[in-house]
């Protein structure tokens, strides 16, 4: 059976009770299993972000600071659409179990890493497991609860579990880093992963494609998967290399390969019956807008998540535990915002206002962070991260709900995957750009201060150390510099204070990226105010039917997010 756009029907056959008849206990524990996966991802993001300065200090290599985050994000971005699409065909449970196991093993490898390159490689493996989890876990929710309103209410379980992970993450990361070492921030994933594995294995029902039950083979889009991986890797390498080294022969080759991969990918996907990324999804204007909003939300989330700890530790000289406590509201309040959103979104005549509100709060938060310096009250920073957290909570879950209902049930997996991937792409872009801005701004400003006499000529040997931002998080390097300054009867602490002021200024410049992303998200979300939650009892319809396309094109009819 084919739909009018040529895509095959992806009817789900269940080996357990239908949603209406499934026992409450089974549904609850299934959601707790998915929620534990959600908490595992949240823990990893928030715990590790607090430990990043200490990791760099121990293993050296500040130039790899952003790559600790980006290796994970890049691998996740590649794996999310691939396994999200495979879950549409083969069922999500096998992939979710494999994902948890992969993530847990990779966390162990991260915990025993003895170099930055080993850690980056382990983080990439961890990202593959994380991408598999994200691509399958979120898509399992609409499988369990096809009705959109019911789905929104059940998402409070995910919000709560995410809240547990994000609330304790920064503080736990700071505590573990300071008292047990940064390696423990990765090893903490092991017990959580085992609990999630047990819950998913026992309680999540197996839902498979009807064609698979009838024995019909599904042709896999291997070329599409290969090309999407190549495109994303090349894009990241271009972002990393072009700003620092310009148009070299190697960079030109990377850019050329990227330009070749894009049309090749479009050609393959337009002709494959089971494309990893069905191109007709991009004919749905509202879904494309949701993808852009997801990119912008990712830029805001990950940029603040990874650079506020750097601001606190490198800029203000705070120890990891105290920095973790101050960063906790960002994570905790994202869960709070999500819980509040769950209670009110179903009551709003224009539920997309929650997205507008969320991005507006992120905009205010970015403005607040721009005012923070060493003499500013901690209350200002705390208020800013509270606003950012609540705003993020109002954005993320709603995008999934709106996206699921726009594309139809047979594409839950790929819709979830694209939304999650776009959020991670935003995070990758945000952290990469902010990392480049912070590093280059710091080096430029410190070189200017050295040129006008920040250090005496007799201490020229410390100039290279002062130009390395790692100095601000590496106590060993600081002691060596202080000894040299002491021998020259010069105030080394004063020089370090100047370097910290430069770092704060550099982070402020980078936060401008978050500011622009939040402003763009606020303005774009207004374009989706026509979307509403549908009335009870409606069955899902193909959003790309001729009638739907006519309605979307005219722009005058109210689009309805339908209960599935």
The string of DSSP codes covering 423-464 is HHHHHHHHHHHHHHHHHHHHHHHHHHHHHTTSS-GGGGGGHH
Average pLDDT over residues 381-397: 84
Predicted confidence (pLDDT) at residue 396 exceeds the cutoff of 90? no
Residue-wise DSSP of 208-255? EEHHHHTTPPPPP-HHHHHHHHHHHHHHHHHHHHHHHH-S-HHHHHHH
- Quote the CA–CA distance of 9 and 387 in Å, as a whole number: 43
Q: What count of other Cβ atoms lies within 10 Å of the Cβ of residue 60?
A: 16
Distance CA 483, CA 368 (A): 37
**Residue 159: is it exposed, middle or buried by C-beta count within 10 angstroms (0-12/13-18/19+)?**
buried
Between 21 and 122, the higher pLDDT residue: 122
**Nearest-5° Cα angle at 64, 119 to 72:** 55
User: Does pLDDT of 522 surpass 90?
Assistant: yes
Question: What is the band of 360 on the pLDDT scale with cuts at 50, 70, 90?
Answer: very high
pLDDT score recorded for residue 217: 63
**What mean pLDDT is reported for the chain?**
75
- Report the pLDDT value the prediction gives residue 481, as an integer from 0 to 100: 76
H or E segment and range at residue 14: strand 12-14
Rounded mean pLDDT, 133-155: 72
pLDDT of the residue at 9: 34
Which comes out higher in pLDDT, residue 523 or 485?
523
Is residue 320 within 8 A of residue 177, CB to CB? The reply is yes
Give, rounded to a whole angstrom, the gap between the first and last alpha carbons of the chain. Answer: 20
pLDDT grade for 18, boundaries at 50, 70 and 90: very low
pLDDT at 10 over 70: no
Separation between Cα atoms, residue 57 and residue 324, nearest integer Å? 17
Tell me, what's the pLDDT at 552?
Answer: 38
Q: Between the ranges 2-11, 272-281, 548-557, where is the mean pLDDT highest? A: 272-281
Do residues 495 and 76 touch, judged by C-beta distance below 8 A? no
pLDDT score of 292: 92
Q: What pLDDT does 520 receive? A: 93
* Residues 310/53, Cβ–Cβ less than 8 Å: yes
What single-letter DSSP state applies at residue 2? B
Residue with tokens 């579990």, as numbered in its chain: 161
Among 337, 343, 296, residue whose Cα is nearest residue 528: 296
Using a pLDDT cut of 70, give the percent of the chain over it: 78
- Distances from the Cα of 264 to the Cαs of 154, 241, 259, 261, in angstroms? 41, 24, 9, 5
Contact between 145 and 19 (Cβ < 8 Å):
yes
Position 163 scores a pLDDT of 66
**Of the given ranges (72-81, 443-452, 494-503), which has the lowest mean pLDDT?**
72-81
Sign of CA dihedral 39, 42, 47, 51: positive
The answer to whether the pTM exceeds 0.75 is no
Specify the pLDDT at position 325.
Answer: 73
What mean pLDDT comes out for the span 348-372? 88
Q: Alpha-carbon distance 444 to 113, whole Å?
A: 32
Instruction: Give the best-scoring range by mean pLDDT among 278-292, 311-325, 484-498.
Output: 278-292
pLDDT above 90 (res 523):
yes
pLDDT band at 541 (very low <50, low <70, confident <90, very high): very low
Q: Which residues pair with 13 in a beta bridge?
A: 208
Q: How far apart are CA 78 and CA 233, in angstroms?
A: 8
561: β partners: 533
Question: Rounded CA gap, 403 and 151, in Å?
Answer: 13
What are the tens digits of pLDDT across the range 58-77? Answer: 777 666 766 777 788 778 77
What pLDDT sits at residue 143? Answer: 72
**Per-residue DSSP letter, 312:** I
Indicate the SS3 state at residue 16: coil
Contacts with 87 (C-beta within 8 Å, 6 or more apart), sequence order: 95, 135, 136, 139, 413
Which of 440, 463, 462, 476 has the alpha carbon at shortest distance from 60?
476
Widest pairwise Cα distance in the chain: 83
pLDDT at 148 (0 to 100): 63
Distance CA(407)–CA(414), nearest Å, equals 9
Neighbour count for residue 560 (Cβ, 10 Å) = 16
* pLDDT over 50 at 93, yes or no: yes
Q: What per-residue confidence (pLDDT) applies to 507?
A: 86
């Amino acid at each position: 059976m084919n739909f009018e756009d040529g895509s095959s029907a992806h009817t789900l056959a269940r080996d357990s009770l239908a949603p209406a008849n499934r026992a409450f206990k089974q549904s609850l524990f299934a959601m707790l299993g998915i929620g534990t996966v959600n908490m595992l991802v949240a823990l990893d993001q928030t715990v590790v972000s607090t430990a990043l300065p200490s990791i760099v200090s121990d293993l050296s290599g500040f130039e790899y600071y952003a790559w600790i985050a980006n290796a994970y994000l890049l691998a996740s971005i590649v794996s999310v659409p691939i396994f999200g699409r495979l879950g549409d065909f083969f069922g999500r449970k096998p992939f979710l179990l494999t994902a948890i196991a992969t993530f847990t093993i990779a966390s162990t490898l991260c915990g025993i890493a003895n170099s930055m390159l080993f850690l980056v490689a382990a983080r990439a493996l961890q990202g593959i497991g994380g991408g598999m989890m994200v691509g399958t876990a979120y898509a399992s929710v609409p499988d369990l609860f096809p009705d959109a309103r019911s789905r929104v209410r059940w998402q409070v379980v995910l919000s709560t579990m995410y809240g547990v992970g994000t609330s304790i993450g920064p503080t736990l990361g700071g505590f573990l880093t300071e008292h047990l070492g940064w390696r423990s921030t990765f090893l903490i994933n092991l017990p959580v992963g085992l609990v999630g594995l047990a819950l998913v294995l026992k309680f999540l029902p197996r839902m498979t494609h009807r064609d698979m039950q009838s024995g019909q083979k599904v042709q896999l889009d291997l070329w599409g998967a290969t090309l999407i991986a190549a495109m994303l890797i090349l894009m990241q390498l271009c972002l990393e290399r072009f700003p620092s080294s310009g148009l070299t022969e190697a960079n030109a080759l990377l850019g050329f390969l990227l330009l070749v991969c894009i049309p090749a990918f479009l050609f393959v996907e337009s002709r494959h019956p089971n494309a990893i990324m069905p191109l007709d999804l991009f004919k749905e204007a509202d879904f494309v807008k949701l993808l852009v909003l997801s990119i912008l939300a990712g830029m805001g989330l990950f940029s603040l998540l990874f650079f506020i700890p750097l601001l606190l530790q490198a800029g203000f000289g705070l120890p990891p535990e105290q920095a973790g406590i101050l960063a906790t509201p960002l994570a905790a309040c994202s869960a709070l915002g999500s819980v509040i959103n769950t209670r009110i979104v179903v009551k709003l005549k224009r539920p997309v206002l929650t997205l507008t509100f969320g991005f507006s709060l992120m905009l205010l938060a970015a403005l607040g962070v721009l005012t923070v310096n060493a003499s500013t009250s901690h209350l200002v920073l705390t208020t800013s991260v509270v606003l950012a957290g609540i705003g993020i909570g109002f954005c993320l879950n709603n995008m999934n709900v709106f996206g699921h209902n726009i594309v139809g049930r047979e594409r839950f997996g790929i819709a979830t995957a694209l939304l999650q991937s776009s959020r991670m792409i935003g995070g990758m872009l945000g952290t990469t750009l902010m990392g480049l801005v912070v590093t280059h701004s710091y080096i430029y400003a410190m070189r200017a201060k050295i040129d006008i006499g920040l250090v005496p000529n007799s201490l020229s040997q410390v100039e290279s150390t002062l130009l390395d931002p790692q100095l601000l998080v590496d106590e060993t390097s600081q002691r060596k510099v202080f000894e040299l300054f002491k021998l020259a009867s010069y105030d080394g602490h004063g020089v370090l204070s100047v370097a910290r002021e430069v770092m704060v200024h550099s982070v402020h410049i980078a936060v401008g990226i978050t500011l622009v992303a939040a402003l763009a998200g606020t303005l774009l979300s207004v374009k989706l105010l026509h979307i509403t939650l549908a009335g009870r009892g409606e069955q899902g319809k193909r959003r790309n039917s001729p009638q739907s396309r006519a309605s979307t094109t005219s722009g005058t009819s109210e689009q309805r997010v339908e209960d599935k």
